């Protein structure tokens, strides 16, 4: 998606505080953190939201969940614990229409 903000971050066209990355996912610091540690984990492939995922995205969704531990480890939250949040659609508070998982921790 040419004009999607998170696609642009994934393509490194917009700078972000990247904390973890592999070939298919990237995790970066939220620009307006709502916790001491607040990072967003996204697939590099554009999927608008969790309800736009299809059975073709099954492997990607599984990897997304598994990579939560990698990101938590990278930011020092794995032992301490954290919250994971996925906002969906207008009334779910989703501002950016590219699937992302919030990881929030560090003591609130
Ligand atoms: P949502 O409300 O869609 O679940 O979450 C979107 C998140 O993206 C918000 O917490 C917001 O602060 C963050 N965000 C919006 N624009 C940018 C940006 O340009 N860079 C970064 N790093 N985070 C952003
Ligand atoms: Zn996108």
Using CB atoms within 10 Å of the CB of residue 21, give its burial: 0 to 12 exposed, 13 to 18 middle, 19+ buried. Answer: middle
Q: Work out which ligand 1 atom sits closest to the CA atom of 32.
A: 12
5-105: CATH topology: HIT family, subunit A (3.30.428)
Burial group, residue 31, by CB count within 10 angstroms (0-12, 13-18, 19+): exposed
Q: Is the CB of 48 under 6 A from ligand 1?
A: no
Q: Is the beta carbon of 7 within 6 A of some atom in ligand 1? A: no
Annotated active-site residue in 52, 98, 100, 102: 100
pTM: 0.98
Is 90 touching ligand 1 by the criterion CB < 6 Å?
A: no
Say which ligand is closest to the CA of 42: 2
Which contacts (CB < 8 Å, 24+ apart) does range 87-94 have?
A: 88/49, 88/50, 88/51, 89/49, 89/51, 94/49
Per-residue pLDDT of the chain (108 residues; tens, 9 = 90+): 889 999 999 999 999 999 999 999 999 999 999 999 999 999 999 999 999 999 999 999 999 999 999 999 999 999 999 999 999 999 999 999 999 999 999 986
Is 32 a catalytic site residue? Answer: no
Under a CB-based contact definition with an 8 Å cutoff, are residues 40 and 86 in contact?
A: no
The closest ligand to the CA of 34 turns out to be 1
């Amino acid at each position: 998606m040419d004009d999607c903000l998170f696609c642009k971050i994934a393509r490194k066209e917009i700078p972000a505080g990247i904390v973890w990355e592999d070939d298919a996912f990237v995790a970066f610091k939220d620009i307006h953190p709502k916790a001491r540690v607040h990072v967003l984990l996204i697939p590099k492939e554009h999927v608008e939201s969790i309800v736009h995922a299809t059975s073709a995205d099954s492997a990607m969704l599984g990897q997304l969940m598994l990579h939560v531990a990698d990101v938590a480890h990278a930011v020092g939250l794995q032992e301490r614990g954290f919250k994971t949040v996925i906002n969906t659609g207008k009334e779910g508070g989703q501002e950016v229409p590219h699937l992302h998982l919030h990881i929030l921790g560090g003591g609130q």
